[in-house]
């Protein structure tokens, strides 16, 4: 095998979780979809099925996408890295975590879970309509609008239970 051919063979993407080389025979799962969009953008001609051992030895850069590690090597390294980063950014369709934590602090249990689920559902709709960036801003806006009523509700509960606990304490201590 010539040096060029070896080098050509080493251009590819490998997922360490499965040690499987995706050869572009059509997407069959989420991982393949990510690969397919990367490969489509690069042009399928640049990719060949590589020997897993070779690719593993020749790893130069890795990119983490949705908990999958992508190894890219060879001439296409920088290109794959850029595209993989773009795919990662495009694919990050998750509501802001900090906003979720803020909401969960004021309403827990089944209602808290349902509230976060409703906002996630709305977020998905917004992603389809406006794109991820605007959807994340809208999520924050909805969170901020929701905080005040939830805080008031939490305070009302706390005061009510405070009064109950205080009454029980007075009853037993004779205060």
Partner 1 sequence: MELTTLEQHAMLAIIALHPNAYGISIQDHIGRNAGYEPSVGSIYAALDRLEEKGFVRSKQGEATRERGGRRKLYFSLTAPGRKALTGSINATHSLSRAAGWREALV
CB of 134 to partner 1, least distance (A): 17
CB of 123 to partner 1, least distance (A): 8
Query: What interhelical angle do 97-104 and 109-130 show, nearest 10?
Result: 150
**Given CA atoms 66, 72, 77, 80 in this order, what sign does their dihedral have?**
negative
Can you tell me the distance from the alpha carbon of 159 to that of 111, in angstroms, rounded to the nearest whole number? 20
* φ and ψ of 124, to 5 deg: -60, -45
For partner 1, the closer CB: 117 or 133: 117
Torsion of CA 6, 12, 14, 19, to 10 degrees: -40
Q: How many residues bind partner 1 (CB under 8 A)?
A: 27
**Termini Cα distance of the chain:** 93
Instruction: Examine residue 150 and tell whether it contacts partner 1 (CB under 8 A).
Output: yes
* 76: its two tokens: 């296409």
Under the binding rule (CB under 8 A), the answer on residue 130 touching partner 1 is: no
Q: Is 30 near partner 1 (CB under 8 A)? A: no
Give residue 173's Cα distance to chain centre. 54
Q: Is 135 a binder of partner 1 (CB under 8 A)?
A: no
Binding characters for partner 1, 54-93, by CB under 8 A (x = yes): ----------------------------------------
**Is residue 99 at the binding interface for partner 1, with CB under 8 A as the rule?**
no
Q: Using the rule CB under 8 A, which residue among 12, 14, 32, 142 binds partner 1?
A: 142
Which residues lie near partner 1 (CB under 8 A)? 94-95, 103, 106-107, 110-111, 113-122, 124, 142, 145-150, 152-153
């Amino acid at each position: 095998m010539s040096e060029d051919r070896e080098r050509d063979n080493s251009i590819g993407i490998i997922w360490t979780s499965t040690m499987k080389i995706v050869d572009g025979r059509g997407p069959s799962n989420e991982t393949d979809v990510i690969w397919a969009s990367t490969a489509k953008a690069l042009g399928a001609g640049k990719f060949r099925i590589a020997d897993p051992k070779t690719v593993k030895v020749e790893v130069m850069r890795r990119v983490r996408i949705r908990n999958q590690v992508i190894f890219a090597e060879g001439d296409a390294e920088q290109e794959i890295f850029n595209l993989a980063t773009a795919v990662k950014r495009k694919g990050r369709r998750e509501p802001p975590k900090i906003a979720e934590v803020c909401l969960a602090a004021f309403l827990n249990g089944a209602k808290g879970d349902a509230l976060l689920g409703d906002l996630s559902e709305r977020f998905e709709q917004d992603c389809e309509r406006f794109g991820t960036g605007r959807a994340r801003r809208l999520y924050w806006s909805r969170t901020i609008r929701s905080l005040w009523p939830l805080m008031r509700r939490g305070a009302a509960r706390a005061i009510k239970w405070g009064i109950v606990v205080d009454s029980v304490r007075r009853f037993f201590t004779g205060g």
